[in-house]
Amino acid sequence: MTELAWISTAISNARPQAMGALLRYFRDLDAAEEAFQDACLRALKNWPKNGPPRDPAAWLIFVGRNSGIDAVRKRAKQAPMPEEDQISDLEDAESDMAERLDGEHYRDDILRLLFICCHPDLPATQQIAVALRIVSGITVKQIARAFLVGESAMEQRITRAKARIADAGVPFETPGPVERSERLAAVAAMVYLIFNEGYSTNGGEAPARAPLCEEAIRLARLLLRLFQAEPEIMGLTALLLLQHARAPARFDENGEIVLLENQDRSLWSRKMIDEGLALVDKALRHRKPGPYQVQAAIAALHARAAVAEDTDWAEIDLLYGLLEQMQPSPVVTLNRAVAVSKVRGPEAALAMIEPLEERLSGYFHFFGLRGGLLMQLGRNEEARVAFDRAIALANTAAEAAHIRIHIDRLIKESAEKSSLQKAR
Amino acid sequence: MLYAILCYASEDVVCSWSKEQDDEVMAKLIDVQDKYAKAGRLGPVARLLPTTAATTLRKVKGEAVVLDGPFAETKEQFLGFYTLECRDLDEAVEFARELSEVNPSGGSYEIRPVSLFNPTKVAV
């Protein structure tokens, strides 16, 4: 590993804090980005020579702020840029500086930086793209690849979204407790979206999209470090860790989906599961349940089952029931029905999902599950109809292929049946 | 005498490493440990999950209260430890120096003589 790689890790780790502070100084996203870029260029020149500073974020904020101020002056043709030597002197003053810089603003700076990306006028995909660009510092090219679009299209999308954010005005006042918790909720939802964007994929695209999941986990951890006593942030981080722990087992070598019950559980990441379980346990002790905690608790029950048969479906059914109360949604009910089918049988599950058809008429998983339940009940013709609908609605080739397997089985069964009848 | 070598470093820095970077550091640290393990001097070693996954039980006015994480506003966190049989402090310092040389995280190693050692076996 080269020294440059370590430096770039340090820079990207310091980025949210440094960008957050620079945004507060300049009150302008473009100016903050420019100042940060400038500070990074100087860091790349300075750090290999003088060694990395003890507090990279403080260094970048200090240098970025100065260079930003100079850029303003330069445009006004009042003063020249400072000499490189003057800047490289600041190593000695650095620990002192770190204390002075923003100790107390640190949390709100990062939260604000994330929060401005969640502007309600921006569609979810734009929020995600802007957050990845501004907060995480991921290149437009990488983001474009993860979203499976061209680079120039993504560039345009991000530029437009940033203009919209600038028009909306950045909320600079220090938030009160209520506002802070509202911001935190919006930001948590965005982190969850980033994860889902990476998670909803097929085998072929999984490697390109995995960085989205990893970035979401990084942001969740960042939030958790800032808000260590928030049970919902513990829940969110746990949920992402527990889901991502299964990534190595989700697709087979042909890129086909492997269902949870058929996954090779030895491929699951033990380390991520352990951390996720510890966080779920911690969160539940607070007795302040929320949707992320409940979803994490469900994921935890899957993670705790050494083999699929050990899964505590009755408990999962209860937890989905709780989630339905907190966040009523036909998709939650649909998920609950899976648990119900295991505990009380396919008939009960089918009765539970029938009333959802109208609202889920465009949802792949609804018809996939309905087909599966009908097949279990031996109602093959109806199952076939449901599977056909599912295929028409599949979002990825892997989803379609998965349903195809069921249909092929039904066709084979009915062919066997009719040949049996002919033989008679 | 048995020494405990306690590792402190910025969790922020260590958790920001990519998997490749982490693997590289761990491989080098294991090389250092192997040498001492072959000599039969290395005891149990542990690396802890981040403090965000930690819980603290503290007695407040005689009552045990369960709290989240260690909240200390410090730059460095307790990340793990080694145990090593040493003739004297110099040997323990030498081991810590070798570890620090291959670890880019900076941080510090606190060297403490062990007073009670109970390595009961657990199935992990």
Distance from CA of A13 to the nearest CA of B (A): 6
Q: Chain B contact for A9, CB < 8 A?
A: yes
Residue B47 CB partners (closer than 8 Å, separation 6+): B79, B80
Facing residues of B4 across strands? B83, B112
- Same domain? A256 vs A348: no
- pLDDT value for A170: 76
Choose the mutation target among B11, B12, B24 for the interface with A, i.e. most A CBs under 10 Å.
B12
Q: Which band of pLDDT confidence, cut at 50, 70 and 90, is reported for residue B37?
A: very high
For chain B, where are the E strands, in sequence order?
2-9, 42-47, 55-60, 63-68, 77-85, 108-113
A68: CATH: 1.10.1740
Q: Are residues B49 and A278, on separate chains, in Cβ contact within 8 Å?
A: yes
Q: Chain B contact for A287, CB < 8 A?
A: no
Q: In degrees, to the nearest 5, what angle opens at C-alpha A135 toward C-alphas A164 and B16? A: 170
Structure confidence by residue, pLDDT tens digits, A300-330: 999 999 999 999 999 999 999 999 999 999 9
Structure confidence by residue, pLDDT tens digits, A140-183: 998 998 888 899 999 999 999 999 888 887 787 888 888 889 88
Distance from CA of A238 to the nearest CA of B (A): 10
Q: Chain A contact for B50, CB < 8 A?
A: yes
Q: Which band of pLDDT confidence, cut at 50, 70 and 90, is reported for residue A89?
A: very low
Q: Are residues A279 and B55, on separate chains, in Cβ contact within 8 Å?
A: no
- Same domain? A297 vs A375: no
Domain ends where: A103, A130, A149?
Answer: A103
The secondary structure of residue A257, as a DSSP letter, is B
Closest CB to B49: pick one of A55, A218, A274: A274
Residue type, B10: S
- pLDDT value for A422: 72
- Same domain? A98 vs A142: no
- pLDDT value for A99: 46
Q: Which band of pLDDT confidence, cut at 50, 70 and 90, is reported for residue A83?
A: low
For residue B51, the SS3 value is helix
- Same domain? A266 vs A306: yes
Q: Which residues of chain A have a CB within 8 Å of the CB of B15?
A: 221
Q: Chain B contact for A237, CB < 8 A?
A: yes
- Same domain? A304 vs A319: no
- Helix (H) or strand (E) holding A109, with range, is helix A106-116
Q: Which residues of chain A have a CB within 8 Å of the CB of B10?
A: none
Domain ends where: A103, A126, A150?
Answer: A103
- C-alpha distances (whole Å) from A330 to each of A117, A385, B8 are 28, 21, 48
- Same domain? A94 vs A145: no
Q: Which of A3-12, A91-100, A356-365 has the lowest mean pLDDT?
A: A91-100
- pLDDT value for A6: 86
- Same domain? A335 vs A223: no
Q: Are residues B66 and A285, on separate chains, in Cβ contact within 8 Å?
A: yes
Tokens read off for B55? 């819980």
Facing residues of B59 across strands? B64
Handedness of CA A28, A29, A32, A37 (dihedral sign): negative
Facing residues of B82 across strands? B5, B45
Q: Are residues B16 and A12, on separate chains, in Cβ contact within 8 Å?
A: yes
Choose the mutation target among B8, B65, B68, B76 for the interface with A, i.e. most A CBs under 10 Å.
B68
Among B residues 75-104, those touching chain A with beta carbons less than 8 Å apart: 75, 104
Percentage above 90 pLDDT, chain A: 60
User: Average pLDDT, whole number, for chain A?
Assistant: 88
- Same domain? A57 vs A8: yes
Q: Are residues B12 and A237, on separate chains, in Cβ contact within 8 Å?
A: no
Tell me whether residue B33 is exposed, middle or buried, using C-beta atoms within 10 angstroms of its C-beta: 0 to 12, 13 to 18, 19 or more.
middle
Domain count for chain A, please give it: 5
Q: Chain A contact for B23, CB < 8 A?
A: no
- Same domain? A111 vs A212: yes
Closest CB to A9: pick one of B17, B52, B106: B17
Determine the Cα–Cα distance for residues A99 and B20; give it in Å rounded to an integer: 32
Closest CB to B53: pick one of A12, A54, A275: A275
Facing residues of B63 across strands? B60
Distance from CA of B30 to the nearest CA of A (A): 17
| Ordered structural domains, chain B, with CATH | 2-113 (3.30.70.1060)
Q: Which residues of chain B have a CB within 8 Å of the CB of A234?
A: 52
Compare A167 and A100 and report the one with higher pLDDT: A167
- Same domain? A235 vs A129: no
Q: Which band of pLDDT confidence, cut at 50, 70 and 90, is reported for residue A95?
A: very low
Q: Are residues B69 and A228, on separate chains, in Cβ contact within 8 Å?
A: yes
Domain ends where: A64, A88, A103?
Answer: A103
Distance from CA of A335 to the nearest CA of B (A): 28
Structure confidence by residue, pLDDT tens digits, A258-317: 989 999 999 999 999 999 999 999 999 999 999 999 999 999 999 999 999 999 999 999
| pTM beyond 0.90, yes or no | no
**DSSP result, A199-219:** HS--TTTHHHHHHHHHHHHHH
Structure confidence by residue, pLDDT tens digits, A351-383: 999 999 999 999 999 999 999 999 999 999 999
- pLDDT value for A69: 80
- Same domain? A19 vs A98: yes
Q: Which of A77-86, A130-139, A272-281 has the lowest mean pLDDT?
A: A77-86
Q: Which residues of chain A have a CB within 8 Å of the CB of B104?
A: 6
Region A44-63 average pLDDT? 89
- Same domain? A163 vs A206: yes
Domain extent for A64: 3-103
Region B85-111 average pLDDT? 93
